[in-house]
Structure 1
Amino acid sequence: MADAPPAAAPVRTAAPTAGCTVEYTVVNQWSGGFQGSVTVTNRGPALDGWRLGFGFPGDQRVTQGWGARWSQSGASVTVVNESWNAALAPGASVTAGFVASYSGANPAPTAFTLDGTPCGDPGGPTDPPDPPDPPGPGDGAPVLTASGNRLVDGDGRTRRMLGVNRSGGEFMCVQGRGIFDGPVDDASVRAIADWKANTVRIPLNEECWLGLDNIDPRYRGTAYVDAVKGFVGRVLAHGMTPVLELHWSWGRYTGNSAGCADEHASCQKPMPNARYTPAFWTSVADTFKDDRRVVFDLFNEPYPDRATPTADAAWACWRDGGTCPGIGYEVAGMQDLLDAVRATGARNLVLVPGLAYANDLSRWLAHAPTDPAGNLAAAWHVYNFNTCSTESCWDATLAPVAARVPLVAGEIGENTCGHGFIDRVMAWFDARGLSYLGWTWNTWDCSAGPALISAYDGTPTPFGAGLRDHLRALAG
């Protein structure tokens, strides 16, 4: 999009020889670090195992990698296949990504080898551009911080996050249909603000952000990251808080309540994975750590309770990750993801959802991850068809959490095309000064699921009219 600032260096392409072609790209860059990728194409005979080598001309240091096993000695970097991408047929390509630190300039590598054979000279490298300046502060877009059980701004005033979700960034790219579902231009963002919303939650896809091979090149890596950054900038420019959340992630799960059998990030998985998700949050946090108006929501709707035999096992999996009963991939727990965010130096507010598709906070306080920044809030989702959908359940399970930490209902909705249920949710949350966000600002059929609008100019569905009118009434 025209108003999304470019963040990537020009792709440096090695001239093909009998061995290989390599493309090196700076996908995203921030002060002192960057996200990069290398795509190697085999120009020789079929390979069963491969080793890529190159040297950084500056002081770049790889701190995290995916899609291969990364190592570095001095300036020399070695990238070795994983078991699942060892085979490289003639003409086939494979992409591996990384996060690295640097100081001063960030020049591109000038030579690559594949299994010791030179891939050619790419010519003189071009330094990547300096990272763009973050958007200027917008009226009413505060830095939110957890203070006891309240969210406060820089002046210590209590704030509530009240607004909408904007679905699309989690599914369009992996389906090869684009990046967002419908417009996210200035006019469409202004329409959200006109409802008197002060927050927009933006679901993301980890494979698209990290630029994995299975995603259409038009919608992955640099293109995806720049589109998200542009959208975040427009949300901030209209005085609203952007919430970035990981919605769809990698990992094959075919157990109870599985959303799909695909290992790729094409549906909601029971838990985040150790292969890619910490790297995703490292990159996202590095990208936005200098603008604490941006809020992070670690994982949309965990449901390890559907896979594990006991509640104890489910909550342990949720917090600590590792090998979890019933889940076939190595899990990254909430503590792992929070650690990845804080290791970048980011002190942004972080939302942590509970179990049962974020509808169960019954043991959240006992299992909450430890945050050295002390800036956590609990995230909860509710629809009229969820288990915890009554005031008595909210009194029993939500009230104790809300008494200790800020509580954000990251998704509220109903499948009736009306708003009777969310009226009850909003009344309960209003009485306690809590936050909530409606699902979703998309022009879908509200009789098939919660959809707030019938047009991106803000024309509401009957369901959406309930949220719009309530937000406007609260704003006076």
Structure 2
Amino acid sequence: MRHPPRSVLLAVAGAVALIGSVTVPVVTASGAAPACSVEYSVTSQWDSGFQGAVKVTNNTAAMSSWSLAFDFAGGQKLTQGWNATWSQSGTAVTAASESYNGSLATGASVSAGFIASWSGSNAVPNSFKLNGTSCNTAVEPSPTPEPTDPAEDGPPVLRASGNKLVDAGGVTSRLLGVNRSGGEFMCVQGRGIFDGPVDDASVKAIADWKANTVRIPLNEECWLGLSNIDPAYAGANYINAVKDLVAKVKAHGMTPVVELHWTHGQYTGNSAGCSDVHASCQKPMPDMQYTPSFWASVANTFKNDRTVVFDLFNEPYPDRATSTTTQAWQCWRDGGSCPGIGYEVAGMQDLVDSVRGTGAANLILAGGIAYSNDLSQWLTYRPADPAGNLAAAWHVYNFNTCANESCWNSTLAPVAAQVPLVAGEIGENTCAHGFIDQVMKWFDDRGLSYLGWTWNTWDCSSGPSLISSYDGTPTAFGTGLRDRLRALNG
């Protein structure tokens, strides 16, 4: 869904197709505790570059600033970094604290990330120094963590089984709930991370509507901590805020859906939302430069919690750029150089591969073209999923093309007969609920899933928004969804 007009900012560069990831923790040697310990990770890697991270733990007296030094051993060259001031001279690399993360208490840890090029080999550094003191570490492989079990009263682990979503016991489930907008735009506009409160009381208010699902839109530049984003709202700070909201959603028994909304890549063609290269509006397709790395990082973050659902890309619209529908669907699945789009596109297959390359088996949602309102060729072009855990996502508003039962019967019903179908966004700009009532009935009659847009206190005629207060007071539009959820799940 497009958002009410808001201010913009931004800048940055660099990556290509993700081909894998590796984590190499650097752990302390046996004996007396060292001055520090360091974990060095390669979180994603492609043909000529990689994304890495370091986690430093201070085991000595508290310090007000820190500087980590190590040597690249395989000809790697830094191109950018975040959560530290990064520099390189020859093979020597330094990551110095920023003003906001210099304080490091005894036993405290700090993380920073970077992007670098490589050729020949991507050897792991074997020695680290914190403020000139050796961290006295040795390299060992880390064990693969076991998937965590959700709490007994938490949300189910969902998977696609035929055309149904089922839980671990094989019982059919539906995703019924709301969207919680904010994480896609606040950070890139330098105004925060979420729009409005995301404390326990505000999440409980969603649960009180008897919702069982919350979709959380995200911004790839903020998650990756790119240099155009205010560090206070980027990188680890942003990721931790998302993880905290996911935990709150789960604590109230609801399924969290993390979704990529706004992405990098300059597009000024038909129906462009903005002329900015940065992730400040909805682009027609995700970009190969950063989106595979984004999904590899998100998948690594949540792969041990399969209650979290991944929604690959909000509202693709390559059909507005290309001259034929066939070209649009080919661009949607395969990416690459798409007609009318000036940046290299990451197709849905690239993103599925990025997620599955981490070992994550979480349920994946993939929306169609025409702002996810057209699923007419979704079955023909659906990406291959080695985990067999893929569902179709669809969006509908009263002003869309496919906004009547005739279209739903002809284009949605065939998809819903073969794979699970989730209406990730439903809404109308009338401040009423007559249209979504029709949508919900069609979906209820077929046991399908839907999520209302959006749990934000905007003007429901321009938003559309479900609430007038974060205590759950509904707008006239929101009343329709609230009453339906309570009737189904009350």
Task: State the TM bucket, normalised to the shorter chain.
Answer: 0.7 to 0.9
- When structure 1 is superposed on structure 2, of 221-230 and 139-148 the one drifting more is 139-148
Residue type of the alignment partner of 1:97: I
Asked if 1:437 corresponds to 2:451, the answer is yes
Which residue of 1 is the match for residue 237 of structure 2? 223
SS at match of 2:437: helix
**Is the Cα contact below 8 Å between 1:70 and 1:80 reproduced in 2?**
no
Residue identity matched to 2:457:
T
Distance apart, 1:447 and its partner CA:
1.8
**Structure 1 counterpart of 2:77:** 79
Give the aligned residue type for 2:168.
G
| 1:163-191 superposed Cα distances (whole Å, 9 cap, x missing partner) | 00000000000000000001111111100
- SS state of the match for residue 431, structure 2? coil
1:64 aligns with 2:44: yes
2:320 pairs, out of 306, 329, 348, with 306
Aligned residue for 2:76, secondary structure, equals: strand
Q: TM-score, normalised by structure 1?
A: 0.78
Note the C-alpha offset of 1:137: 1.6
1:280-291 mapped onto 2 (5 Å cutoff): 280-291=294-305
Per the alignment, residue 293 of structure 1 pairs with 307
Deviations 1:420-462 (A, max 9, x none): 0000000000000000000000010112221000111100000
1:110·1:121 contact (CA, 8 Å) conserved in 2? no
Provide Cα deviations, 1:211-243, integer angstroms capped at 9, x if missing partner: 000000100001000000000001011000000
Identity of aligned residues (%): 69
1:340-380 alpha-carbon deviations (Å, 9 max, x no partner): 00010000000010000000000000000000000000000
CA distance in 2, matches of 1:65, 1:79: 14
Q: Using a 3 Å threshold, how does the CA distance of structure 1 residues 402 and 462 change in structure 2: closer, same or farther?
A: same
TM-score by length of 2: 0.76
State the Cα deviation string for residues 130-151 of structure 1 (Å, max 9, x = none).
Answer: 9999685251510001000000
1:160 to 174, 182, 186: 174
Return the letter of the residue paired with 1:389: A
Candidates 98, 102, 110, aligned match of 2:128: 110
Task: Tell me what 2:383 maps to.
Answer: 369
Separation of aligned partners in 2, 1:71 and 1:391? 46
| Equivalent-residue separation in structure 1 for 2:136 and 2:469 (angstroms) | 44
Q: 2:404 aligns with which of 390, 402, 406?
A: 390
- Residues 465-476 of structure 1 correspond to what in structure 2 (within 5 A)? 465-476=479-490
Correspondent of 1:189 among 203, 207, 221: 203
**Which residue does 1:323 correspond to in 2?**
337
Q: Does 1:456 align with 2:478?
A: no
Tell me the equivalent position of 2:23: 33
1:269 aligns with 2:283: yes
- Do the aligned residues in 2 keep the contact of 1:308 with 1:324 (CA within 8 Å)? yes
CA RMSD, 1 decimal: 3.3
Amino acid at match of 2:128: T
Q: How does 1:344-363 map to 2 (within 5 A)?
A: 344-363=358-377
Q: Distance in 2 between matches of 1:456 and 1:258?
A: 32
Question: CA 1:234–1:58 in structure 2 vs 1: closer, same or farther (change >3 Å)?
Answer: closer
Gaps of 5+ in 2: 1-20, 26-36, 53-70, 81-87, 89-97, 99-111, 118-123, 138-142
Change in Cα spacing, 1:183 to 1:58, as seen in structure 2 (3 Å) is: closer
* 2:183 corresponding residue in structure 1: 169
What residue ranges of structure 1 are gaps of 5+ in the alignment?
1-30, 36-56, 83-87, 100-105, 112-119
Asked if 1:410 corresponds to 2:424, the answer is yes
Q: Cα distance 1:468–1:123, how it changes in 2: closer, same or farther (>3 A)?
A: same
Aligned residues: 402
User: Structure 2 counterpart of 1:64, which letter?
Assistant: S
Q: Report if aligned partners of 1:59, 1:75 keep a CA contact under 8 Å in 2.
A: no
Match of 2:91 in 1: none
| 331 and 348 in structure 1: CA distance in 2 versus 1, 3 angstrom threshold | same
